[in-house]
């Protein structure tokens, strides 16, 4: 049975916007200030390091795993990018940012991500 694989590529700015919006929506308040730089680190998992310039000090916020996945999914929903509910979703490295891989088809495990 055939299955579909789709990649949605996000720029650094879109990754930062997704993480900031997700942080506000969840009420976590980890990102306080203006994002000055975004670095996507590739390894076993994709991690994003945000350099945040606050009123008093600068800080580095590292986000990865389910939180990064949830932020990118929420960004897609808020920007009317259609994502199948019953699909396998994962975050992979892209040339200069991150990409959301979506796999749909028979026999693929589905994944539930809590957006809160």
Query: Is the pLDDT reported for residue 25 higher than 60?
Result: yes
For 91, which DSSP code?
E
The answer to whether 83 touches 89, Cβ cutoff 8 Å, is yes
pLDDT for position 79: 94
Mean pLDDT (the chain, rounded): 84
pLDDT tens by residue, 35-62: 888 888 877 778 888 888 876 788 888 8
CA distance 60 to 50: 6
Q: What is the pTM of this model?
A: 0.83
């Amino acid at each position: 049975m055939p299955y579909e694989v789709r990649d949605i590529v996000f720029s650094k700015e879109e990754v930062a916007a997704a993480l900031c919006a997700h942080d506000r929506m969840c009420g976590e308040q980890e990102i306080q200030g203006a994002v000055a730089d975004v670095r996507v680190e590739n390894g076993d998992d994709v991690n994003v390091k945000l350099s945040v310039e606050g009123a008093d000090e600068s800080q580095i916020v590292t986000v990865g795993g389910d939180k990064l996945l949830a932020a990118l999914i929420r960004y897609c929903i808020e920007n009317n990018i259609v994502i199948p509910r019953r699909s396998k979703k994962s975050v992979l490295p892209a040339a200069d940012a991150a990409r959301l891989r979506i796999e749909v088809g028979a026999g693929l495990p589905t994944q539930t991500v809590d957006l809160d």
